[in-house]
Amino acid sequence: MDARREIEVLIRAKYPIVYVVSWEERRVEQALQSVSQTLNRKLHSWSVTQGMKPAVVRTTGPANPSQLPGELEALALIHEAPEYSVFLLKDFHVYMRDSRVVRLMRDLAARLRGRTQTLFIVSPSLNLPVELEKDVTVMEFPFPEPPEIEAQIKEAAEAAKDNPKLDLALAPEQLELLVRSAQGLTADEIESALARSLVETKKLSVDQIIEEKKQIVRKSGILQFYPADSGLKDVGGLDLLKDWLETREKSFTDAAREFGIPYPKGVLLLGVQGCGKSLVAKAISATYSLPMLKMDVGRVFGSLVGQSEDNMRKAIRIAESLAPCILWIDELEKGFAGTGGGGISDSGTTARVFSTFLTWMQEKTKPVFIVATANDVSSLPPELLRKGRFDEIFFVDLPSGEERADIFKIHLGKRKRDPQNFNIKTLAKSTDGFSGAEIEQVVVGALNRAFDQGRELLDSDLLDEAKAQVPLSRTMAEDIAALRAWAKVRARPSASPKSGQNR
């Protein structure tokens, strides 16, 4: 439903208070103005600097200007305003921390209910005091839609047309690309990006729009662009997982969409520490040639009430605005642990943030491919693992002999050594129970040994180093056994059973 239509429905259905989440005051006000006109309502806008415009003709109460602080006065005015009015309070979320404001708003909600008066609050973030949760309807004001963006781009070109230095010609494909890349930006952001593009490149180019988006990601503090610095060739073993990822690559194309294949949702990688989960996540970005955003779940949780959910929604919005893209959530269990129980100390914040995320996973239509990694399944909420959230759940086990050989080759190669000069088979045999990360450590440790003694790396350095290390799998044998048992029935193996022998 488009925003205007939603506003109209809310006003006609006599909702008392609507909280509009948007950075775009101007667009919200325009939408309210146009709907108010259609419905024969009078729109009054209030801001702390301008007061109420146009002024409200009071039906009751004192005629003299009151001595109340501005925000309370605004609410008092609404209380006494005639029917058929619509109010817009700007930046009002700041005042909603005051208990008097909250009280007055609750009274107001009771009064406005069923009357032809509606109060809108517009704010860039959702910070709703719990007391008001039942009285206030929250509405997300969507970013400009493609036709709106197209009109805006044409307007920008029209406005600049007298400048002979600019190249404003836009082929239909270019225009389409611009419109597509500008989705997820506010009208103001699009305007600045277009203006900057004209100044810097003398034409309307996509680059500035992408730059604008990078800015937004940087400012978010929750997401971060992750460069695709490794590919699947840097991942040893895990043949089934790699095959699966490679076959999925085609599902990202338009041809797949036409064929009726939905966008891939994402994949969950569960498994033993240091066996390449994060490595695979990074490799996916390179394999699919899609930008990757990493979400820092820890940062989602803010200290203010409502802030965490708001952060999550913001992160989702940003990720969607960059679609198609990959959203990597590393160590998922650290963020969402214990949400199953409900009776946890943070009064359900984690659970609410988590449910926002789950709902999005279920309903998202934008091509945001989620790659989540976790190594402690016991604390993961079961809802997450239900079919339909992820396309597949993979279990990443300790590498088998063959896989260890593969990993040795990769890490020797990465450090400018020719694997053929080493007895890889023996090395693989003597590192039973080692994770990929531990094998890497063996290689690095051995290099240090050799360097220290002023000679080239030998097999014996690697073997000595392997002997000196106690793999985590030995100290954590029980945990790993439990994890395997759990994964056996719930997840798909990442490596084929043949290579899985003698784990």
Ligand X SMILES: Nc1ncnc2c1ncn2[C@@H]1O[C@H](COP(=O)(O)OP(=O)(O)OP(=O)(O)O)[C@@H](O)[C@H]1O
Using CB under 5 A, list all residues that contact Mg ion.
Answer: 277-278
Structure tokens at 236: 């040893």
Q: Which residues contact 291 (CB under 8 A, 6 or more apart)?
A: 225, 285, 322, 325, 326
Q: What would the x/- binding string for ligand X be over residues 231 to 250, using CB under 6 A?
A: ----xxxx------------
Question: Which residues within the stretch 330-369 sit at the binding site for ligand X (CB under 6 A)?
Answer: none
Cβ closest to Mg ion, residue 278 vs residue 423: 278
* Shortest reach from residue 453's CB to ligand X, in Å: 25
Hey, which residues does 374 pair with through a beta bridge? 270
Question: Which residues within the stretch 428-457 sit at the binding site for ligand X (CB under 6 A)?
Answer: 436-437, 440
Cβ closest to Mg ion, residue 310 vs residue 438: 438
User: Which residue sits closest to Mg ion, CB atoms considered?
Assistant: 278
Cβ closest to ligand X, residue 251 vs residue 273: 273
Neighbours of 288 (CB within 10 A): 21
For the chain, first and last CA: distance in Å? 54
Identify whether the C-beta of residue 465 lies closer than 8 Å to the C-beta of residue 422. Answer: no
Cβ closest to ligand X, residue 32 vs residue 275: 275
**Of 173-181, 219-227, 276-284, 362-370, which part binds ligand X (CB under 6 A)?**
276-284
* Shortest reach from residue 330's CB to Mg ion, in Å: 6
Which of 123, 186, 220, 273 is close enough to bind ligand X by CB under 6 A? 273
Cβ closest to Mg ion, residue 75 vs residue 439: 439
Taking Cα atoms as reference points, which of 221, 391, 396, 402 lies closest to residue 312? 221
Edge-to-edge strand ranges of the sheet holding 117-123: 51-53, 42-47, 85-90, 117-123, 17-21, 136-140
Give CA separation, 127 vs 97, 240, 303, 310, 351, in Å.
Answer: 9, 45, 12, 8, 17
Identify whether the C-beta of residue 86 lies closer than 8 Å to the C-beta of residue 11. Answer: yes
Tell me the site size for ligand X, rule CB under 6 A. 18
Which of 44, 277, 314, 364 is close enough to bind ligand X by CB under 6 A? 277
* Shortest reach from residue 283's CB to ligand X, in Å: 9
Q: How many residues does the chain have?
A: 503
User: Which residue sits closest to ligand X, CB atoms considered?
Assistant: 436
- E strands in 59-190: 85-90, 117-123, 136-140
Cβ closest to ligand X, residue 322 vs residue 407: 407
Which of 276, 306, 381, 401 is close enough to bind ligand X by CB under 6 A? 276
**Of 43-51, 158-166, 275-283, 461-469, which part binds ligand X (CB under 6 A)?**
275-283
* Shortest reach from residue 246's CB to ligand X, in Å: 16
Question: Which residues within the stretch 384-423 sit at the binding site for ligand X (CB under 6 A)?
Answer: 407, 410
Cβ closest to Mg ion, residue 25 vs residue 331: 331
Binding partner of residue 25 among ligand X, Mg ion, none, CB cut-off 5 to 8 Å per kind: none
Question: Which residues within the stretch 184-203 sit at the binding site for ligand X (CB under 6 A)?
Answer: none
Q: Around 374, how many Cα atoms within 13 Å sit in the side-chain half-sphere?
A: 25
Q: What would the x/- binding string for ligand X be over residues 48 to 87, using CB under 6 A?
A: ----------------------------------------
**Bond prior to 54 in cis (omega within 30° of 0):** yes
3-state secondary structure of 47: strand
Q: What would the x/- binding string for ligand X be over residues 279 to 298, using CB under 6 A?
A: x-------------------
Amino acid code (one letter) for 483: L
Binding partner of residue 205 among ligand X, Mg ion, none, CB cut-off 5 to 8 Å per kind: none
Identify whether the C-beta of residue 276 lies closer than 8 Å to the C-beta of residue 238. Answer: yes
Identify whether the C-beta of residue 171 lies closer than 8 Å to the C-beta of residue 135. Answer: no
Binding of ligand X by 275 (CB under 6 A): yes
* Shortest reach from residue 451's CB to ligand X, in Å: 20
Which of 123, 127, 181, 375 is close enough to bind ligand X by CB under 6 A? 375
Cβ closest to Mg ion, residue 27 vs residue 277: 277
- DSSP characters over 315-381: HHHHHHHT-SEEEEETTHHHHHTTTTT---TTTTHHHHHHHHHHHHHHH--S-EEEEEEES--TTS-
* Shortest reach from residue 302's CB to ligand X, in Å: 25
Binding partner of residue 440 among Mg ion, ligand X, none, CB cut-off 5 to 8 Å per kind: ligand X
3-state secondary structure of 265: coil
Cβ closest to ligand X, residue 156 vs residue 443: 443
* Shortest reach from residue 331's CB to Mg ion, in Å: 6
Identify whether the C-beta of residue 19 lies closer than 8 Å to the C-beta of residue 136. Answer: yes
Report the alpha-carbon distance of residue 182 to residue 197 in Å, rounded: 13
Amino acid code (one letter) for 443: V
Cβ closest to ligand X, residue 233 vs residue 488: 233
Identify whether the C-beta of residue 243 lies closer than 8 Å to the C-beta of residue 492. Answer: no
Which of 125, 278, 379, 430 is close enough to bind ligand X by CB under 6 A? 278
Structure tokens at 436: 């990929």
Cβ closest to ligand X, residue 16 vs residue 274: 274
Structure tokens at 252: 């990202």
Residues engaged in binding ligand X (CB under 6 A): 235-238, 273-279, 373, 375, 407, 410, 436-437, 440
